[in-house]
Structure 1
């Protein structure tokens, strides 16, 4: 009996053959998915966006896989074991796997992947910071590798289920070069690269030799459509099968179409307004707290998000390890905000810029509402929008934002460590402004222990401290929201929309 797709992961995790009936894989047409952003490179180490991960999860495999149930399963590693007081991890690798170009997957490919990720090439992108606990990767034999850790990392196995550490082909990259690989990716995934048209589309075809079973689809087309209304229009006309940008205002319209359906589930995404806490008006924590108190976030959730979001007090959803249900956000209190601003010497009519990504219609409405709330307490907000690639590659990492700037974080590890470390620790790629020695100490302390209870305690303290310093305005945890044509079948709800389309079919 040949197991396919997600069922194969369950089999590998249980290490026993389950009596699950399967049918032979068969080609059933092409699935078309709309994504917001074209990341411009299909090298796993070059990006940090969930949009990339939604494609990369079908092109590549990691040593570990995460299922739609958010549990971890064996991927290109069939098992792993912590040794030497957690200073070494031994991975046993899956045999008989080939890259799309015919190159063998083996221990040498794993070593090449991590040497590259942790070397000069990896240093050019944002992924390297996730894996710096790895000191070296040692090849034991063709299908066994040891990761030697230079620092403890209790979240490393979870990170390996992400997309920065997906395994890449050594010979192909060495022969073709990094620039060519960026635009002509080769992995071990369920689908193979066919064609890339920048800003337009990426086309993949089924990999009939996929170790998890041949996909039932014949191909995948990803179309890059940054406007949510356009995605919905294309969904209605049949130009796409899945829209990953769904404006709240159009949910009822989609639900009214008998051939379409909307999925709205708790996900990892948190939406916030971060402060330039290094200089200017928002350097003062009292001013930051006043600006938080000026905004009715519950009203934004109810009226703009129409209930498709939840309140947050820290930068994580309830799905995240480290989430503290007892931590409450500052209440909406415009009178207290006005008094605090006056005490801090902020004159009525003071101007600030709010930087945001202009293509998201829902957030544009949120930004306009925030501006109105702040104007009511005497702060005039100038809204300045940017294209998403410019925003995330140039503006934020280099500290070029206004005093307030939009930020959305996917929390892809479902562990607050990854969010907190990368957004709060001094010198991190996504943290241009915060330099706080006490916060750095706590962030490092929770990474130094494998004790689950101790880690959770410290992560709670980090969230509490960051809230007390008011480093951002936590707006809401947005539901994972997408719309699908009903001709698509066997697509389990996935909180981060990192669909793996191995078992999916289309009529």
Structure 2
């Protein structure tokens, strides 16, 4: 009888353990507003790529929601005295999802590819131009040689173009195949990708950091916010990621007993940038007049419901290079009218604002901006584009109207990552402007290792761009996540780069 009780107790313990494991496993579904179209790290600049691919790929370094930079595929690194060489000690016994070993050759291949002809065709290369070459010391040691010091490089190595890719797999299958069937070393592996519909991932049990607690992870591409929120409430998705959650639907989510909103300060900023090459906005006086005409404080108060703040330059307060003493160009409708008259702009002059069609919150903002500009006597139209079209075709090709929406994640929390890509001549996000003085400042700050000197120069760059009225800075906005209550261990990431290894579902 005693043995029977022991056996029964053991069986009950096993059942309880199995139930606990089951509760911590399962399949999590996330609503993402955009299909990146390619999973190749050198092809992308999109935060919606990172929200998925942070689970698929690893970098040499890793930076999580707490903003601390920690080892990734490199267990340690050491810089020489002049900052022109970084020696990385690599993690051993790591494999890619296809079983291919990770080693020094993988690192060299990744950066040779990023800095070579393939990388030149994508948007990431300019973030890593400080790198000259990768030298293999042994199977698990590499030296990264730099043309010049880059004070932000170690952070850049934690994301996007610097994600380590498998040499043998790409050489065998080609980059086009890799972009649709990616292989990384991350905690999840992509097993199915239905373009514009969904991407499905499974746990990679052999991940060097341990197997994820979830079995499966699915991202559904849902661009319409009301649809995404309805799916959240019905249980069709467990998490809705930024920027899908409209400010106006926060109460809807919070008032549902099964869901809540997770809000965290983020580096994301919004601006309306100007075509400085043609149309009425080629005149600096006109650009300044348009900025002066819009009451940005009123927009933040009326539309953002306390989830953002007015910015004076194209960066938020957590960005290195932010100047707390710098004031936004003030709202002054009469001064704006005088500037337009000086510039010879006739009443009824046309002005087009290009926006992302699926961005509900910014759609409201654009309408309010349009109303202010119409008060100046301008004939304003708003043109909405599918996000991928606007970002991949219209803006880079210089085919926008006089003003166009620019949302920027600034994930490095350093103004360089924004300023260089927005203002330097020839960059993807700068299709219209060329300014030798600004180029010189942008280049100079990249080689400065003294933080105080570099911060001062970045602040000077922000003031210079304000003086030239290169954009209408609007606001920084919190990252808003809609989350079902059964999701456990979820930590909202300020930069959308969700690492879901420890997340699980509770019945």
Does the pair score TM above 0.5? Answer: yes
**Pick aligned residue for 2:214 from 186, 194, 217:** 217
Q: Is the 8 A contact 1:25 1:213 kept in 2?
A: no
CA distance in 2, matches of 1:497, 1:353: 30
CA contact (8 A) 2:264 2:479 kept: yes
- 1:46 and 2:25 are equivalent in the alignment: no
Aligned to 1:322: 321
Structure-1 residue corresponding to 2:91: 94
CA separation in 2, counterparts of 1:448 and 1:45? Answer: 23
Determine the structure 2 residue equivalent to 1:459.
Answer: 458
Alignment length, in residue pairs? 485
- List aligned pairs for 1:52-201, cutoff 5 A: 52-83=49-80, 85-201=82-198
Contact 2:263 2:492 in 1 (8 A): no
Tell me the distance in 2 between the aligned counterparts of 1:411 and 1:200. Answer: 27
| Partner of residue 442, structure 1 | 441
Residue 84 of structure 1 and its aligned partner are, at CA, apart by 5.2
Give 3-state SS (helix, strand or coil) of 1:366's partner. helix
Correspondence for 2:15: none
Aligned to 2:314, what secondary structure does the other structure show?
A: coil
The answer for unaligned runs of 5 or more in structure 2 is 1-19
- 3-state SS in 1 of match to 2:233: helix
Report if aligned partners of 1:27, 1:215 keep a CA contact under 8 Å in 2: no
Distance change in 2, residues 1:302/1:432 (3 Å): same
Whole-angstrom distance in 1 between the partners of 2:79 and 2:256:
52
CA distance in 2, matches of 1:481, 1:436: 36
Task: Show the counterpart of 2:405.
Answer: 406
Which residue of 1 is the match for residue 496 of structure 2? Answer: 497
Find out whether 1:368 has 2:385 as its counterpart. no
What CA distance in whole angstroms lies between the structure 1 residues aligned with 2:68 and 2:396?
A: 31
Residues in 2 aligned to 1:83 and 1:261: alpha-carbon distance in whole angstroms: 48
* Structure 1 residue 29 corresponds to structure 2 residue 26: yes
Deviations 1:260-282 (A, max 9, x none): 01012210100000001122211
Residues 24 and 68 of structure 1, relative CA distance in 2, 3 Å threshold: farther
Aligned residue in 2 for 1:232 = 229
1:458 is displaced (CA, Å) by: 0.2
Contact preservation (8 Å) 1:26, 1:216? no
Over 3 Å counting, the alpha-carbon distance change for 1:225 and 1:299 in structure 2 is: same
Kept after mapping to 2: 8 A contact 1:26/1:215:
no
Partner of 1:358: 357
Q: Following superposition of structure 1 onto structure 2, how do residues 257-406 of structure 1 map, counting pairs within 5 Å?
A: 257-406=256-405
Offset from partner CA, 1:326-348 (integer Å, 9 cap, x none): 11101111111111111111111
Deviation at 1:152, TM superposition (A): 2.5
- The alpha-carbon deviation at position 236 of structure 1 amounts to 0.7
In structure 1, C-alpha distance between the alignment counterparts of 2:224 and 2:504, rounded to whole Å: 27
Cα deviation, 1:132-179, whole Å, max 9, x if unaligned, reads: 111111110000001111132111111101221100000011111111
Query: Would the aligned equivalents of 1:246 and 1:482 in 2 still touch at CA under 8 Å?
Result: yes
- In the alignment, the residues of structure 2 paired with residue 190 and residue 293 of structure 1 have an alpha-carbon distance, to the nearest angstrom, of 49
* CA distances 1:10-33 after superposition (whole Å, capped 9, x unpaired): xxxxxxxxxxxxx99995101101
Instruction: Determine helix, strand or coil for the equivalent of 1:203.
Output: strand
Structure 1: stretches of 5+ with no match in the other structure:
1-22
Question: For the residues of structure 2 that align with 1:341 and 1:382, how far apart are their CA atoms?
Answer: 18
Match of 2:161, SS state, is coil
Shift of 1:446: 0.7
Task: Compute the displacement of 1:85 (Å).
Answer: 1.4
- Matched position secondary structure for 2:223: coil
The alpha carbon displacement at 1:123 in A equals: 1.1
Does the aligned pair in 2 maintain the 1:26–1:217 contact within 8 Å?
no
Aligned to 1:8: none
Whole-angstrom CA distance in 2 between matches of 1:452 and 1:360: 36
Deviation at 1:497, TM superposition (A): 2.1
* Aligned structure 1 segments of 4 or more residues deviating by more than 3 angstroms: 23-27
Query: What SS does the corresponding residue of 2:55 show, helix, strand or coil?
Result: helix
Provide closer, same or farther for how the CA distance between residues 441 and 222 of structure 1 changes in structure 2, counting only shifts above 3 A. same
CA distance in 2, matches of 1:358, 1:85: 48
Cα distance in structure 1, aligned partners of 2:79 and 2:181: 36
Given that residues 25 and 216 in structure 1 are in contact (C-alpha distance below 8 angstroms), is that contact kept between their aligned partners in structure 2? Answer: no
Q: 1:445 to 1:25 in 2, by over 3 A?
A: farther
Aligned to 1:3: none
TM-score normalised by structure 1 residue count: 0.94
User: For residues 464 and 263 of structure 1, what CA distance do their matches in structure 2 show?
Assistant: 34
Give me the TM-score of the superposition, normalised by structure 2. Answer: 0.94
